[in-house]
């Protein structure tokens, strides 16, 4: 018994030490959307812990009440009918649990897919975040600058990241500011976030994309609007413009350090259209095709009538 307790103590100690190697930053949110996600995760953990507690209590109760007794070898227990009430109960309870977690998840997803609460009247800062090999490019069309492997944002302002990829599918994730979302090569996806306080937060690609995946990290630094404006001015004044030749070099490179440019690659390499724009374009093309078909049919009919009349 003492040996088992010692092994359990060692196991729990090891888990505690390993858990302390890297803090669970997702449970330390610094923005409204991240707070919504953190609250949902905590609620889910509490719900599952309560379920486990009930299961273990019932297990101990069953093992204690129906444990082997010192009854004679020829003892036959009395026949007992099943309980319809119990069968209905243990069928309904899982349905209720799943429905509850589903409703919470849907509401959370709807909340974080929109502009953060409290920022409805503010115009968001749009940043195009694109990935190539194992690095990140951040383009600021409003400011006319671009950075590699780091991104600066102002606090207390909604941020709208437009995501896409120059290679395989990646996943953009800043745990303390927002959830994760895929970046793909043929369309834009959008992720909304805001930072409530000044700080430095690590972001990464959370989708395996090859041998350099583990090093595909970037720093997201939130700062006051005044400091952000000063940083933008410094970049525009002191950094070189991003040329197509330089950008092609960046795309081919596997790993690069941080860098800044006084122009963006969007000028010569535009981002793909958003999914909704793709859909609208497809509808327009179908309408145009339909109009051409109808016009061709009308012309054919008119030509046929003219020939018949002649």
pLDDT digits (tens, 9 = 90+) for 35-62: 999 999 999 999 999 999 999 999 999 9
What angle (nearest 5°) sits at the alpha carbon of residue 122, between those of residues 117 and 125? 100
Q: Where are the domains of the chain?
A: 125-267
What tens digit of pLDDT does each residue of 254-298 get? 999 999 999 999 999 999 986 544 445 444 444 544 444 444 444
State the DSSP code for 116.
P
CB 155 within 8 A of CB 228: no
Distance of CA 51 to the CA centre of its chain: 27
Report how far apart, in Å, the C-alpha atoms of 74 and of each of 10, 68, 69, 267 are.
45, 14, 13, 89
What tens digit of pLDDT does each residue of 177-233 get? 999 999 999 899 999 999 999 999 999 999 998 888 888 999 999 999 999 999 999
The region of weakest confidence among 134-138, 149-153, 183-187, 210-214 is 210-214
Which pLDDT belongs to residue 305? Answer: 46
> In the chain, pLDDT over 90 holds for what percent of residues?
68
CB 260 within 8 A of CB 146: yes
Cα separation, 14 vs 192, whole angstroms: 38
For the ranges 6-20, 80-94, 230-244, the maximum mean pLDDT occurs at 230-244
Q: How many CA atoms lie within 13 A of 51 on its CB side?
A: 13
Fold of 125-267: Immunoglobulin-like (2.60.40)
Which pLDDT belongs to residue 107? Answer: 96
């Amino acid at each position: 018994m003492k040996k088992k307790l010692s092994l359990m103590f060692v196991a729990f100690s090891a888990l505690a030490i390993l858990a302390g190697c890297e803090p669970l930053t997702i449970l330390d949110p610094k923005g409204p959307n991240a707070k919504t996600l953190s609250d949902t995760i905590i609620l889910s953990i509490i719900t599952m812990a309560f379920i486990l507690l009930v299961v273990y209590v019932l297990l101990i109760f069953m093992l204690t009440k129906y444990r082997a007794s010192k009854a004679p070898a020829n003892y036959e227990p009395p026949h007992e009918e099943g309980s319809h009430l119990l069968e209905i109960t243990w069928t309904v309870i899982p349905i209720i649990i799943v429905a509850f977690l589903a409703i919470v998840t849907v509401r959370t997803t709807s909340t974080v897919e929109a502009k953060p609460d409290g920022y409805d009247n503010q115009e968001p800062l749009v940043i195009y975040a694109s990935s190539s090999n194992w690095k990140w490019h951040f383009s600021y069309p409003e400011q006319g600058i671009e950075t590699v492997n780091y991104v600066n944002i102002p606090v207390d302002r909604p941020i709208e990241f437009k995501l896409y990829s120059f290679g395989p599918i990646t996943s953009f994730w800043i745990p303390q500011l927002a959830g994760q979302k895929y970046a793909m090569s043929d369309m834009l996806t959008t992720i909304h976030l805001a930072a409530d306080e000044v700080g430095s937060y690590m972001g990464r690609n959370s989708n395996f994309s090859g041998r350099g995946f583990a090093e595909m990290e970037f720093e997201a630094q939130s700062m006051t609007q005044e400091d952000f404006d000063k940083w933008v001015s410094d970049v525009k004044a002191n950094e070189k413009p991003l040329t197509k030749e330089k950008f092609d070099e960046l795309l081919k490179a596997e790993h690069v350090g941080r860098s800044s440019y006084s122009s963006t690659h969007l000028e010569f390499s535009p981002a793909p259209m958003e999914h909704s724009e793709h859909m609208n374009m497809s509808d327009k093309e179908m309408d145009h095709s339909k109009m051409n078909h109808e016009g061709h049919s009308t012309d054919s009919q008119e030509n046929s009538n003219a020939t018949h009349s002649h």
